[in-house]
């Protein structure tokens, strides 16, 4: 994660509070809470993440290491628009070309995330392809199929 911006624990805590409150509408179009179980600890963890959704498929990108708990089709829950959904994590795409295409699409829908991926957005709302190619070297893509 060379120059990518990280999110402070205090901001994560604030986002969790808002997404669980009646004020969620301010954020829930672009942010969701993902809850998963730690592989080694067995503890439940919840973290706010940005997402894109098409039908029953939710796509999440992260630079953090929590995604490693999801390897192997782990069950997760997502809080989307103040409702809980269960789903199964689908394998993280290792194909960098696929990840780049998905990240480009995600950033077109949610350009706010560009700064967290060191991607420049042009005046037409298109992510810079060179920046995206660089970003996919350190980003993990998680797909969750909702039940």
Instruction: Check residue 37 and give its pLDDT.
Output: 94
pLDDT, one tens digit per residue, over 17-61 is 999 888 888 888 889 999 999 989 999 999 999 999 999 999 999
Which residues touch 34 (CB under 8 Å, ≥6 apart)? 46, 47, 49, 60, 76, 77, 78, 144
Alpha-carbon gap, residue 61 to 114, rounded angstroms: 11
Alpha-carbon gap, residue 95 to 36, rounded angstroms: 24
pLDDT, one tens digit per residue, over 87-143 is 998 877 778 999 999 999 999 999 989 998 999 999 999 999 999 999 999 999 999
Q: Please, which pLDDT band fits residue 1 given cuts at 50, 70 and 90?
A: very low
Could you tell me the domains of the chain? Answer: 9-146 (2.30.110.10)
Alpha-carbon gap, residue 56 to 141, rounded angstroms: 16
């Amino acid at each position: 994660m060379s120059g990518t911006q990280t999110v402070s624990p205090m901001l994560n805590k604030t986002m969790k509070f808002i997404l669980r409150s009646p004020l969620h509408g301010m954020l829930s179009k672009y942010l969701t809470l993902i809850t998963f179980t730690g592989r080694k600890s067995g503890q439940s963890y919840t973290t706010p993440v940005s997402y894109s959704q098409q039908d029953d498929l939710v796509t999440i990108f992260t630079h953090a290491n929590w995604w490693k708990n999801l390897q192997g089709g782990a069950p997760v829950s997502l809080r989307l628009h103040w409702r809980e959904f269960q789903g199964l994590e689908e394998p993280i795409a290792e194909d960098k070309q696929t990840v780049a295409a998905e990240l480009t699409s995600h950033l077109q829908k949610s350009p706010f995330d560009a700064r967290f991926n060191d991607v420049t957005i042009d005046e037409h709302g298109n992510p810079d392809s060179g920046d995206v190619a660089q970003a996919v070297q350190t980003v993990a893509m998680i797909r969750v199929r909702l039940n």
